[in-house]
Amino acid sequence: LEAYRALLRKLRESGVGVGDDPAKVRRYSLLTKQKELAAAPPAGMEQHHVYRAQAHLTVAMMVAQGVELASSHGCSSAIAHFRRDMEEWRLLREGGGRRKMGLQLREELYQSEVYHEMLSKLAEGEAAGSHPKLSATAALLSHHFGAHPAGSRVMVFTSLRDSVVELTAHLAKVEGVRAFRFVGQASAKGSDETRKGLSQAQQREV
């Protein structure tokens, strides 16, 4: 949470009114702030400060999603999220991405001590075992399929694409369960193969 707390502090210093408790400032509230800033910047805020604040908000939303994944879905999902974002940043930088301010802020984050400490803590959490929700879900499905004849089907919903891979891999270990990834057609921006939505034909096959 310290990496997220540092970003929230920078946002407040730049004139964006956000809370100081990283456990309470959610990604959606940051998105709302970003839209408000674009529509009606604070009186007296120069345009380049507006751009920088918007870039800070984008980076903060990325970290907020990682925090949400770690707390609600699992450390493995959070690590995959941050690795994918870093790879996208690397490709944009090598390709001469136009959003130079956003790239610079991401680089500052990736090089910071608190960011590397966060990744280290996530790795420790990953090594310690899966999120309790995963174990509880696996136990529930094991009981269900043990009590029902072959042919029974179950859909497990998750709110973030980044958690689908970890969830599918965990459930596939349950005896009697054949787990398949099922993601709607719409694909997130920059989606890799693990996050892309399924075509209608693929959905029917599953």
**CA-CA distance, 11 to 53, in Å (whole number)?**
6
Bigger pLDDT: 2 vs 80: 80
CA atoms within 13 A on the CB side of 163: 20
**CA-CA distance, 102 to 79, in Å (whole number)?**
21
Please say if the pLDDT value at position 195 is more than 60: no
DSSP E strands in the chain: the ranges are none
The segment with the largest mean pLDDT, out of 87-96, 108-117, 180-189, is 108-117
| Residue recorded with tokens 């609600």 | 72
Q: What is the mean pLDDT of residues 14-30?
A: 84
| Residues 126-168: tens digit of each pLDDT | 888 778 888 888 888 888 888 886 778 888 888 777 788 888 8
Question: What separation in angstroms does the CA of 169 have from each of 79, 91, 124, 159, 189?
Answer: 15, 28, 19, 17, 24
Q: What DSSP string describes 162-184?
A: GGHHHHHHHHTTSTT--------
| Residues 29-79: tens digit of each pLDDT | 899 988 988 888 878 878 888 888 888 888 888 899 988 888 888 888 889
What pLDDT, on the 0 to 100 scale, is given for residue 98? 58
